Structure 1
Amino acid sequence: MKYTFSKIVDIPKIQALMEEFYLATGIPCGIIDTDANILVSVAWQDICTKFHRKNAQALSLCHESDMFIKDHLNSGQPYVCYECPLGLIEAAAPIMIDGEHLATIFQGQFFFRAPDIKRFYLQARLYGFDEKDYLAALEKVPFLTPEKLYAIMGFFRQLAELLAYMGFANLKLLESKEKVVQESEDRLKTIINNSPCVAIQSYDLEGKVLFWNQASEKMFGWTEKETVGRTLREIMRDENNEKEFQDILQACGKSENTYGPFVWNITNKNGIEKSFLSTAFPIHYDNEKTEFIRMNVDITEQKQMEQEFIRFDQLNLIGEMAASIGHEVRNPMTTVRGFLQLLLGKDDCRTYHEYFHLMIEELDRANAIITEFLSLAKSKAVKLEMKSLNAIIAAPLIDANSLLYGQNFRWELGEIPHLALDENEIRQLILNLTQNGIEAMSPGKSLTISTFKESAEVVLSVQDEGKGIRADLLDKLGRPFLSTKEHGTGLGLAVCYSIAARHHARITVESSPEGTTFFVRFKV
């Protein structure tokens, strides 16, 4: 083809479009032509541009990634996904126009799961990066699921092809202007309507819905038929949301600028609380008609991930503190315990034996608490071996028989693959969860332990029939010293969350007045 990609599309408009798209979604983008010219660059991650590509040694690894992606672009797959030697993931897809590869669209850098922070600590030291700034840049790297990445790359590729098609059609004058524009608008509307990642709506000046794409139906729960022609107050029965949106419409109308991005919290049709990153902007037509476009990206999981990072940082801080002082505290405790045992053997101290036993019990309790503290450190070494989770479950259940007195117990162990596990740690996690469930129930109630495979995860669930956990405590579960028990240390669940983190697993909770279920989800 005699035309380059930049000749048949309007690059400044694509740049502006992708900048607006980034403001609404937080999704970065890059487009490079076949001569390695950067045509579009939006929000590439600081960890790459300010660190990896500024260091000669690290840059050589970046070039390895570039060559790998280039060599595999035409492998027949819709896109290439690659984890670079520095631990970041990138994806790229060829932009094919009329059967020819004219440019490449990049999505990156990102993670599929929480990164190994220790690895990036080591990289900072290896390449001489400022650790604080480097880890701050790491925290900005977004998380994507493989499904979301597939949707984003498909959306980007279709959009690029659409723009190229429009420009090429205009240059060649193959069809009349009206037909080309109409077809392009229909196709663009189809792409927007089928965009799985961004909920897009349009509203009139009164705030009534004019357009409601399929992603809006999925995220909010209401269908297009239920929303078009109605206001948000009529749809969601939420006057506060309606007032807030009317204020946004007025602000957009007055400034003529994009409003946002801002966080929008709602309860969807299914009663699920959701958080969205939203952007709103006006579109003015020649007939003096004005519409307002609102673009929303679901950040509920991202906010939950942020809370998990905070929780893990708290756990690690306490664990590291315990590791540093545990030795100094345990030595005098051991000495005191030894002298108390000596005194127990003296006849002239017989009248104080009751007190000596009590003091020894309290020392043992303090020592057990220190041991739990040490379990919180994420740097704690784990011995991972391919094990059967079902086989590990059997051992602690025998030890826990005394805890199950007066209550029913059942297990539903499904067919699951072996996992990389530290048997002692997983046994401790199971014991902690089962003991919590048992203590939450009255005699005659049942505790159920289940294992099953769900998508790409192996799930361990512990379900009790207690009174449930208060809603205001659910988001705080796993924090050290949070306990609803009269004599609890508040460390049992904290230890569980730390063990899960060291196994790259996550814990989710469902609770109601009929009971509580803890799910430990392991990646396969």
Structure 2
Amino acid sequence: MNGIITLWDQSGAIIYVSKSAERLVGYTVAEMIGTKWYEWISPEDISYLKKNLDVIQSAKQVFNINIQNVHGKNIWTENQLTPIHDESGNHYYVSATKDITDKKEVEEMMIRSEKMSVAGQLAAGIAHEIRNPLTSIKGFLQLLQAGVNREGEYYKIMVDEIEKMESITSELLFISRPMTDHKELENLPGMISDVVTLLEPQAGLKNVEILWQQDLNQDINCDRSQIKQVFINLLKNAIEAMEDSGYIEVTNYLQDNQVFIDIIDEGPGIPEEVIHKLGEPFFTTKQNGTGLGLMITRQILERHGGKLEILQNEKAGTTFRVVLPKP
């Protein structure tokens, strides 16, 4: 299908739409002219796009949204939105739209596969992390049953252990949920802390310690589930790269109106000649890897206007650097 070009004014009224739109939505051009742009997209995407219109007053942006056809069916589209103005100062928006339904379905299938793979790989560490608190709780209950008179102290420890298990299982359930595609302001350190909590058990199995240093309390405009998946993929890779024991450092900072998150491991590093291949489908340096994790990571970051940089450390190991725009 050819792309669709739409022009609408500041009030949202459609002034022009190319004839190719008829094949996508099933309405005629005449029926669409004069209507508001938000009459043609799914209700859940309306507020998302309206909130982001202020962001694109001076530069074009790309949005993935659902357009509803004449039968009420949602169609995934990629829309490049560019602000323009005439000599009188009137503002307009030009939208270049293409159908990405097939691409979206393939991406979602790969993401589901990778998410299930991650959940399976984390199972051993999580089982170990849950077994220890359960053993502790069982021991305290036996002491209480035997009449040991230290209820207050034991109850507090048991509650702490239960909360630890609850935190880990909540994060595991989170990564198994379907991803959404809606951006909101989210707290970056909070998301990183959640991921560190989830992956600490896996790191512990290899005697690896995650050093999470919160240098910046920054909100970012993102889809929470997708960005957390990015950090899960990268931190999991760093853990797997470590031979036995060591440290992984996670830092975040602001530079040139961009947010940087560095994940620095002490593994053997990545040969210079293969760094540029990382992120290609099915290319991996791991014996049992698929290469899909980094590919999905790059795609998610690109959808957020960000990027992934892979750097060799001076002494040993690799730095995976996530760069995202500051809202």
Higher helix share: 1
TM-score (norm 2): 0.48
TM-score (norm 1): 0.31
Q: Larger RCO: Structure 1 or Structure 2 (Cα < 8 Å, ≥ 6 residues apart)? A: 2
